[in-house]
């Protein structure tokens, strides 16, 4: 057990699997273990429920007897989860956390980009996604598809879990100092942005990009077919590309779902990982992110690779109560930097390949790339 505060790395997760801290009904696949997290898999027998709930002292089984509508079977052929319906699945993984170690869950990148709202539920839990130190028991996942029906199967990963000791959050002074030493945030012109032009206040404020050639984003189409999480689908059946002219405002409509990208680019060295704040009332009437975890190595290439790569942050934006005008450079979201207890033995995008490393504007991996699609862009490098 490490005595340094921070987010626990991949090697700690492997040890947790061997010592019983983390257990699974099926063997954990190596691909589930990320630099700072582990992917969680849904079980076969889920339940369509009347409403979202926290089990509290009554427990999950009691709540399911009260709010369960019908069972769903995520067997080999899969089951389609309908839009705006609430489902609860047991997870294949369970926990027995030691003192001093807590955990936090978040949707995976692909889950967020498909507008699937997911939250972790624990037995007798009184809050979503956060697991207190010493917790021992089964885990469940609430799943709500918002834009598209989705087909899921037992073993599909929709969420990921991080383990934490102490307070890993870098304060504003620590954030500025780290950004001064290393190009964590990269300006669009490919030069290190440092911290001079960035607002640092409980995280680093970042802006939306509307100046790219071609599509600057996508809007989810309504009344589509189902998306198979293990399939590959044509983009046009599910997404409408968005272009932007400085002469015309870009208005985000209430309850519409959009994929946009950040103006600034990010690269995370082995010493830190990051998390996005999903909603900030001061930034506007939008929720900008579902999947908020960024692993060490995201957008990063070490000096041994003779250059620095950087990746945009893809924004999963849902309008809220009123139409909202987005301008180039609007500070719509914050990224919080988190220290690692020690450097992970694998880095995102190096030993662990990813669909999203070096991304600009990129849809989830369930969609086929198109000619001229921003997916085909090479990672940016500067010297």
Measured CA to CA, the distance from residue 125 to residue 119 in angstroms comes to 12
Average pLDDT over residues 316-344: 87
pLDDT, residue 283, reads 53
Q: Does the pLDDT at position 280 exceed 80?
A: no
Per-residue model confidence as pLDDT tens digits over 148-160: 999 999 999 999 9
pLDDT, residue 332, reads 79
Measured CA to CA, the distance from residue 146 to residue 116 in angstroms comes to 6
CATH topology (fold) of 6-165: Deoxyuridine 5'-Triphosphate Nucleotidohydrolase; Chain A (2.70.40)
Considering only residues 287 and 178, tell me which one the structure prediction assigns the higher pLDDT. Answer: 178
Q: Estimate the share of the chain in helix, then strand, then coil, as percent rounded to the nearest 5.
A: 15, 40, 50
CATH 2.70.40.10: which residues of the chain? 6-165, 172-382
Cβ atoms of 144 and 86 within 8 Å: the answer is: yes
Average pLDDT over residues 25-32: 94
Average pLDDT over residues 196-202: 80
Measured CA to CA, the distance from residue 369 to residue 365 in angstroms comes to 9
Q: Does the pLDDT at position 325 exceed 70?
A: yes
Cβ atoms of 159 and 144 within 8 Å: the answer is: no
Q: Does the pLDDT at position 1 exceed 90?
A: no
Measured CA to CA, the distance from residue 106 to residue 242 in angstroms comes to 27
Measured CA to CA, the distance from residue 279 to residue 360 in angstroms comes to 22
Report which of 256, 276, 258, 242 is spatially closest to residue 321, judged by C-alpha positions.
256
Does the global pTM surpass 0.85? yes
Considering only residues 120 and 214, tell me which one the structure prediction assigns the higher pLDDT. Answer: 120
Out of 1.20.1440.230, 1.10.1520.10, 2.70.40.10, 3.40.50.1110, the CATH code matching 172-382 is: 2.70.40.10
Burial letters 46-77, b for 16+ CB under 10 A, else e: bbbbeeebbbeeeebeebbeebeeeebebeee
Residue with tokens 């964590």: 184
Q: Where are the beta strands (DSSP E) in 153-298?
A: 157-165, 185-186, 204-207, 217-220, 227-228, 239-242, 250-252, 257-266, 272-276, 286-287, 293-294
Q: Does the pLDDT at position 304 exceed 60?
A: no
Measured CA to CA, the distance from residue 110 to residue 230 in angstroms comes to 11
């Amino acid at each position: 057990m490490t005595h340094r505060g921070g987010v626990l790395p991949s090697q700690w997760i492997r040890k947790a699997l061997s010592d019983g801290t983390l257990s699974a009904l099926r063997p954990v696949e190596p691909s589930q273990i990320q630099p700072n997290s582990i992917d969680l898999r849904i079980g076969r027998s889920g339940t369509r429920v009347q409403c979202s709930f926290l089990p509290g002292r009554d427990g999950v089984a009691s709540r399911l007897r009260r709010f369960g509508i019908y069972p769903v079977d995520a067997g080999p052929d899969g089951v389609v989860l309908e839009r705006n319906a609430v489902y609860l699945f047991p997870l294949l993984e369970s926990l027995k956390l030691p003192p001093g170690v807590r955990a936090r869950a978040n949707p995976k990148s692909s889950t967020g980009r498909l507008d699937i709202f997911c939250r972790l539920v624990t037995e007798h839990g009184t809050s979503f996604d956060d697991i207190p130190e010493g917790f021992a028991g089964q885990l469940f996942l609430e799943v709500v598809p918002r834009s598209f029906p989705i087909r899921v199967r037992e073993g599909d990963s929709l969420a990921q879990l991080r383990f934490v000791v102490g307070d890993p959050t870098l304060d504003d002074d620590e954030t500025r100092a780290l950004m001064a030493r290393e190009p964590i945030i990269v300006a669009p012109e490919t030069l290190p942005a440092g911290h001079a032009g960035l607002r640092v206040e409980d995280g680093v404020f970042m802006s939306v990009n509307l100046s790219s050639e071609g599509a600057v984003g996508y809007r989810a189409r309504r009344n589509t077919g189902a998306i198979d999480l293990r399939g590959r689908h044509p983009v046009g059946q599910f997404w409408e590309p968005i272009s932007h002219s400085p002469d015309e405002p870009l208005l985000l409509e209430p309850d519409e779902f959009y994929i946009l990208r950040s103006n600034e680019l990010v690269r995370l060295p082995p010493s830190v990982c990051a998390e996005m704040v999903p909603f900030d009332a001061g930034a506007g009437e939008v929720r900008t992110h579902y999947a908020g975890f960024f692993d060490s190595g995201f957008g990063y290439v070490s000096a041994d690779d003779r250059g620095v790569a950087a990746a945009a942050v893809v924004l999963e934006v849902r309008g809220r109560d009123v139409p909202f005008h987005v301008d180039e450079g609007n500070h719509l979201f914050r990224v919080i930097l988190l220290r690692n207890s020690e450097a992970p033995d694998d880095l995102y995008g190096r030993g662990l390949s990813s669909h999203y490393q070096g991304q600009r504007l990129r849809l989830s991996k369930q969609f086929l790339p198109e000619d001229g699609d921003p997916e085909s862009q090479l990672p940016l490098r500067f010297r």
